Chain A
Amino acid sequence: MIQKKICMIGSFAVGKTSLVSRFVDSIFSDKYITTVGVKIDKKTISVGTQDMTLVLWDLEGEDEFQKFRVSYLRGTSGYLLVSDGTRPNTIDVALKLQQEVETAIGAVPFIFIINKHDLIDEWKINESDIDHLRSKGWEVIKTSAKLGQAVEEAFLTLGARMLGT
């Protein structure tokens, strides 16, 4: 079976850990327990006829004060770039991180995630912001770790991208 390492990247408290728990264990908690360092999980998916094991590196959220640990990215085949629709500045952080990642390891497939879609009423970003991201040729997926909405889709899309299909 093929294994691929993928990373969860994004500002703090955007829901990286929640997306992983939803995807791997189908659970969600309202409680915020910040990730310290990195937490590793895995899940097997099927893309077409190909089975593959995703080894998920859930990295600690990026804060201005903390230098992003580039070495955790080594050997990554793809990543989810996660932001929080209720906090517009997490989109800026995601954009900055995307560039840092690309400088560090080159271009690998990624999906731009805007999380907390269940709070759409409190979202501070609009469709034109999203169109702007799509215009870069990026895949943008709106997810809710809380409701499980589009979470599986996000990981499967990334899986397909990594296989080049």
Chain B
Amino acid sequence: MSDQNDKHTEKDVDIIAGQESDQLKMLRSILIGPEKDRIAHLQKRLDSPEIYTKELSKVVAEAIMLRSSNDNKIAQVLEPTIANTLKASVKKDPKALVDAISPIMGPSIRKAIVNTIGGMIQSLNQTLEYSFSLQGLKWRLEAIRTKKPFAEIVLLNTLIYQVEQVFLIHTHTGLVLQHVVAKEVETRDADLVSGMLTAIQDFVKDSFSSGKDESLDTLRVGDRNVLLNHGPYALVAAVIRGTPPPDYTVLLDDALDTIHVKMGGVLEAFDGDAAPFETVRQDLEYCLQAQFANEKKKISPTFWAVIGVVVFLLLSWSVFSLQNYYRWSGYVKKLSNAPGIIITENEKKSGRHYIAGLKDPLAPDPDALLKETGLKREDVVFSWKPYHSLHPEFVSLRIKNILNPPDTVTLELENGILSAFGSASGQWISEATLLMRLMPGVDGFDFNRLGETVPDENEQIRHMISSWSESARCNALEKRIEGTIIHFKEKESINIPADQKSVLHTLLFDFEKLFQLARLAGKQVYVEIVGHTDSIGTEKINLHISKKRAEAVREFLAARTLETGGSFPVLSQPHMCKSCHAQRVKTIQDNFKTVGVGAGQPLRKEVLEKDRETNRCVTFNVSITDIVSDKDQHE
């Protein structure tokens, strides 16, 4: 039964299955018939490259855009292919590439060529133009006189402006990244200049600037302007002689921008290696601009005519005077030409000559001169008043004595203007500058040309920094010195105790510094060394001991400074003969006065022995005054 049953069941199932699959098929075709068609269509699209490509082409650009905004993969993947393609393309037909890039290369090549040739033509023109003209002759003389190359003189006289150097400086460290110099410009070490420029900016920022974003934009050193343009990581500094057009700074800005774009990452990570910045040389070189004047001034014929007339008049006058007053006027002329003699009156009365005037003690003797002419002494009445001559020869002599110029300096006095040529140390120049203000017979001075031959930027810049703050520092040093006390522990002793010597040692450096700074600030320093005693003993003896203590301290300071070649008291009178020992000792005595006040000005009220010990001492009073010039005194 069960078998039958089973069979039946199997069959049933079969039938049901058969029925079902047919039904399902129908159902399926009813339900998903349209989709099936679409899938078949899709399959066809995928299998057919033509259609697929067509489809992809619609979105490929957007896809690349999307991916590129996410990462750099596409560029990396395509790079070798594109490189190969370019290579292949150039191999096949270089002309296509040339055509494509010539619009970019053309102008820059042209610019380079024009610059080079332009520069050549310019200097050739100038040299030719000025070599043979009257102007040129004048400048040749100037060149010989100032011992400078002719080309430089031409340059100086025809220049409107020239950018001599351009620095690219790393803002954070102040180190030079790149430095370019115009042709034929002499320069100092770029590293040092860059350092000093950075130091100055730091100083100015510290001292004057209120906001964080304020920075130094221009700077004057001698006759040069320095323009500074600041970027986020670097700055460009252009050293310019003359005045550049106002839009020049735009040029600098452009260069700085370009450099920041090109080198942004390298700048940010800079750690002392400037080699990569070789690539921005050209950008900086483009900033080395210059402009020259070409106008020629013709001397008008009237000028020559006037000169001619003047010369003619002079000639006839002197012939006339030779004829009429041969002897006498010859003599008077001789006298008035003699340095240090000024004739104020010259009369002939009843056959006798009366001559009155001023005479410098250094002037030649009028009697002796008279003898040479053969005139009779009895015919002449002299009346001389003594005076200090401003005759250039005398003034020159005095100037030489006082300034004591080094061999490298030539001084020239003309119309009361003292000019210096050659070279000298910055220190000598500043001392000389100070002294010249006090010289009678010198109305002005021109050390500019001297400065140019010694363009020690370091020195000049340091001087600039210092002049801002010397006075303040002097005052601070003054306070410190006045706070110094030398203790004399032993009663009645006038010997400096051994343990006080190191205090004096330090004091010596203080004085050195004070005298130097004071000189820079144009001040004079006087020191009073004050000796004290305790209140025990008679007044007379105490005054004596205290004075001796002050003298002992001065003795120690003087001996020490003379022995170590210290210079402080000497520098307050810089024109003094530095090698004269005796004179130095005298200067020390003039600048350092000693007094003994006994127990008159005790440091403390005396109660214990300890207080008395404190009162046995030496203290210092410092006074800093302006140097008073002769002129000021007369006025």
Interface residues of A (CB under 8 A from B): 1-5, 12-13, 30-34, 36-42, 52-53, 55, 57, 63-66, 69, 71-72, 74-77, 86-87, 89, 124
Contacts and interface: CB of A to CB of B under 8 A. Distances in A.
Interface in B119-159: none
A66 to B, nearest CB: 7
Interface in B475-529: 476-477, 479-480, 502, 505-506, 509, 512-513, 516-517, 520
B458 A40 contact: yes
A124 B476 CA distance: 27
B476 A63 contact: yes
A50 B274 CA distance: 14
Given A13-B509, A38-B465, 6 more contacts: A3-B272, A3-B274, A32-B566, A65-B480, A86-B502, A86-B505
Nearest to B202: A71
Contact of B505 (A30, A57, A87): A87
A65 B483 CA distance: 13
Interface string B186-216: 0001011001100100110110000000000
Contacts of B548: none
Contacts of A87: 502, 505-506
Contact of B517 (A34, A39, A77): A34
A72 B199 contact: yes
B599 interface: no
B466 A40 contact: no
A42 B175 contact: no
Contacts of A4: 272
Given A31-B565, A36-B465, A71-B205, A12 B513 contact: yes
A163 to B, nearest CB: 10
B172 interface: yes
Closest 7 CB pairs of A and B: A75-B173, A40-B195, A37-B465, A65-B476, A36-B466, A71-B202, A13-B509
B174 A75 contact: yes
What size tier do the contact residues of chain B reach? Answer: 35 or more
Given A31-B567, A52-B272, A40 B175 contact: no
Interface string B359-398: 0000000000000000000000000000000000000000
Contact of B189 (A3, A13, A32, A42): A42
Interface string B551-580: 000000000000011110000000000000
B170 interface: yes
Interface in B1-40: none
Nearest to A163: B272
Contacts of A37: 199, 203, 462, 465-466
A24 to B, nearest CB: 11
A53 B273 CA distance: 10
Nearest to A13: B509
Nearest to B513: A34
15 contacts: A3-B272, A32-B509, A36-B517, A37-B462, A37-B465, A37-B466, A40-B196, A55-B175, A55-B192, A64-B480, A75-B174, A76-B173, A87-B502, A87-B505, A89-B506
Interface string B450-480: 0000000010001001100010010011011
Contact of B191 (A3, A31, A38, A77): A3
A87 B195 CA distance: 31
A93 B522 CA distance: 30
A141 B309 CA distance: 81
B512 A32 contact: yes
A55 B195 CA distance: 8
Contact of B195 (A1, A2, A57, A77): A57
Contacts of B564: 30
Nearest to B520: A36
Contacts of B202: 69, 71-72, 74
Contacts of A124: 502
Given A42-B189, A69-B206, A87-B506, A30 B462 contact: no
Nearest to A72: B202
Nearest to B199: A38
A9 B53 CA distance: 73
A41 B466 CA distance: 18
A74 to B, nearest CB: 6
A86 B509 CA distance: 13
Contacts of B512: 13, 32, 34
Nearest to B501: A122
Of listed A4, A32, A66, A86, residue having the most chain B CB within 10 A: A32
Nearest to A5: B173
A40 B192 contact: yes
B509 A77 contact: no
Contact of B516 (A34, A40, A77): A34
A52 B273 CA distance: 9
A71 B206 contact: yes
A33 B173 contact: no
Given A38-B199, A74-B202, A33 B565 contact: no
Contacts of A38: 196, 199, 462, 465
B273 A39 contact: no
B484 to A, nearest CB: 13
A69 B517 CA distance: 19
Nearest to B468: A37
A39 B458 CA distance: 7
B476 A66 contact: yes
B565 A30 contact: yes
B459 to A, nearest CB: 9
Contacts of B477: 63, 65
B268 to A, nearest CB: 14
Contacts of A5: 173-175, 195
Contacts of B176: 3
